[in-house]
């Protein structure tokens, strides 16, 4: 989407910068226009000056190269008639900023609605000169729909500069509108990794290296990058013996030994459970519904009790995996909600019997589908199902736009008064396969617009998903898990536990490259 027309381009007249303001900014601002400082944002919706205003009321513009004209107001706002845009027919660097003073010291959060066509060297909101470390939030690539992003900061000294920045190529653009600067802070409690495939990979010879090439323990490498939570799936009696109780216990010890928390993901199956397959374990085939409730309770209690006994109590538990259509088909299908609720209750009761402080998550896929989540959790609520967290899978190449994820997170967190998190997301850093098995995402036509299959594209995807979750109102955005960052192309560690010759279609979405080196996207696990 082109953000402007030739008719809305404007030229600015240079204005002098007051010396006091220049001293407050990180670089001298010889071509900036100074706005009067206040303790609250002025003209936060860019409505005061209509279209074509380069220095809207309350705001100032700076460009070291004299490219102030790349910042301007124009029609097409988020909440009103107008917005701020950055755009130029040639490469440009420009900053639009507002200096606040007279603030009480404490924590504050900047919120803004943004859009961007992508492609910039950088495009971000910043809070700087606030008496603490500068905080930034990059704009996601979202040309069609507005997305709300937030940036928290600690103010010491009563002043802070709100800044909108572009370092852009010719034709790159962004829109910003409806900013707020209010007391309070944000951040993500959960910055997790699902390392379910790790033990099998290592047993088959898989190795992992730091970005510089030093061989190390994968859990330690991810922890040092910023991960604070590990996720492990549990199968009942898998054909290869991995992801069973014994292997989960062993990997849980490694996770907890690194000071990380633990999420246990019960599939209630011997193999993958997802919206298209919720197959009962072989040992439970032919059991009545009443017996299945007992099976769920006993299996859940057995695994969690063993974890607690070895000093690695689960901090969070998923009762079922991607249970859009229920679990333990056909008895636990969503076509019979009272029975599904009974099975869920068995799992919840077992988890709470082991540890009353363990959080219960209910997990669906299709994270951009608000109608699905409303229907599902309305039914769960009507049946009295107990839970603490609503967990989403969100893969942009399958589940829609980031704006759809945000709308769904915002809606269900408010509707049900629960914390929300993305329990699964990932993105490719390349398209070709390392093994002979075709990758799940291997065509450029399958990618999300604005996010190339590159190390940079993978980094931007994880960054932007985390920023969307951080922006959920009232602190209900809990966090994000990256799915299977250690599932590299090790022979024998394929997708089918019953077939050692099956390949891996996921190695191009791991957080370790084809030389087993940690990729830059892992650094976003240190998200504030």
Give the residue numbers marked as catalytic.
322, 424
The answer to whether the beta carbons of residues 428 and 493 sit under 8 Å apart is no
- Is beta strand 261-266 parallel, antiparallel or unpaired with respect to 316-319? parallel
**In whole angstroms, what is the distance from residue 224 CA to residue 199 CA?**
19
How many other C-beta atoms can be found within 10 angstroms of the C-beta atom of residue 349? 16
Contacts of 391 (CB under 8 A, 6+ apart): 318, 361, 362, 363, 364, 420, 421, 422, 423
In three-state secondary structure terms, 256 is helix
Identify each DSSP E strand in 76-134 by its residue range: 82-87, 92-100, 106-116, 122-128
Phi, psi of 478 (to 5 degrees): -80, -45
**Residue labelled with tokens 């989960």:** 248
Cα-Cα-Cα-Cα torsion 484, 376, 359, 304, nearest 10 degrees, comes to: -70
Helix/strand/coil (H/E/C) assignment for every residue in 197-240: CHHHHHHCCCCEECCCCCEECHHHHHHHHCCCEEEEEECCCCCC
């Amino acid at each position: 989407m082109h953000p402007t027309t030739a008719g809305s381009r404007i030229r600015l007249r240079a204005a002098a910068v007051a010396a006091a303001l220049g001293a407050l900014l990180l670089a001298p601002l010889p071509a900036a226009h100074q706005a009067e400082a206040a303790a609250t944002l002025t003209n936060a919706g860019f409505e005061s000056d209509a279209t074509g205003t380069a220095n809207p009321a309350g705001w100032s513009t700076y460009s070291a190269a004299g490219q102030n004209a790349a910042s301007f107001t124009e029609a097409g706002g988020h909440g009103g008639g107008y917005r701020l845009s950055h755009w130029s027919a040639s490469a440009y660097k420009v900053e639009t900023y507002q200096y606040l003073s007279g603030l009480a010291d404490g924590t504050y959060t900047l919120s803004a609605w943004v859009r961007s066509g992508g492609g910039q060297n950088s495009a971000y909101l910043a809070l700087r000169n606030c008496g603490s470390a500068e905080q930034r939030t990059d704009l996601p690539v979202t040309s069609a729909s507005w997305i709300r992003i937030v940036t928290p900061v600690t103010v010491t000294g009563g002043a802070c500069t709100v800044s909108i920045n572009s370092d852009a190529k010719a034709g790159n653009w962004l829109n910003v509108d409806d900013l707020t600067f209010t007391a309070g802070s944000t951040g993500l409690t959960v910055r997790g990794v699902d390392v379910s495939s790790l033990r099998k990979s290592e047993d088959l010879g898989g190795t992992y290296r730091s970005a510089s090439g030093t061989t190390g323990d994968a859990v330690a490498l991810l922890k040092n990058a910023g991960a604070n939570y590990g996720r492990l799936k549990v199968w009942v009696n898998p054909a290869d013996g991995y992801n069973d109780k014994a292997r989960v216990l062993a990997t849980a010890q490694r996770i907890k030994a690194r000071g990380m928390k633990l999420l246990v993901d019960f599939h209630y199956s011997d193999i993958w459970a997802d919206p298209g397959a919720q197959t009962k374990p072989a040992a439970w085939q032919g059991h009545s519904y009443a017996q299945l409730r007992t099976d769920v309770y006993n299996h859940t209690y057995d695994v969690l009790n063993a974890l607690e006994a070895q000093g690695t109590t689960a901090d969070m538990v998923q009762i079922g995996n991607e249970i859009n259509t229920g679990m333990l088909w056909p008895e636990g299908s969503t076509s019979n909600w009272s029975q599904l609720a009974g099975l869920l209750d068995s799992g919840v009761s077992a988890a709470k019997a082991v540890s009353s402080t363990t959080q219960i998550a209910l997990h669906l896929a299709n994270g951009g589908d608000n109608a699905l989540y409303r229907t599902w959790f309305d039914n769960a609520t009507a049946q009295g199902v107990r839970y603490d967290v609503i967990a989403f899978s969100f893969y942009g190449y399958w589940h829609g736009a980031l704006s759809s994820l945000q709308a769904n997170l915002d809606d269900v967190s408010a509707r049900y008064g629960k914390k929300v998190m993305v329990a699964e997301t990932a993105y490719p850093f390349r398209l070709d396969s390392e093994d002979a098995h075709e990758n799940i995402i291997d065509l450029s036509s399958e990618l999300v617009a604005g996010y190339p299959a590159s190390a940079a594209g993978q980094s931007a995807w994880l960054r932007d998903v985390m920023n969307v979750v951080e922006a959920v109102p009232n602190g209900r955005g809990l966090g994000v898990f990256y799915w299977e960052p250690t599932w590299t192309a090790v022979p024998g560690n394929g997708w089918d536990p019953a077939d050692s010759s099956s390949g891996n279609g996921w190695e191009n979405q791991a957080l370790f490259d084809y030389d087993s080196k940690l990729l830059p996207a892992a650094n976003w696990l240190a998200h504030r």
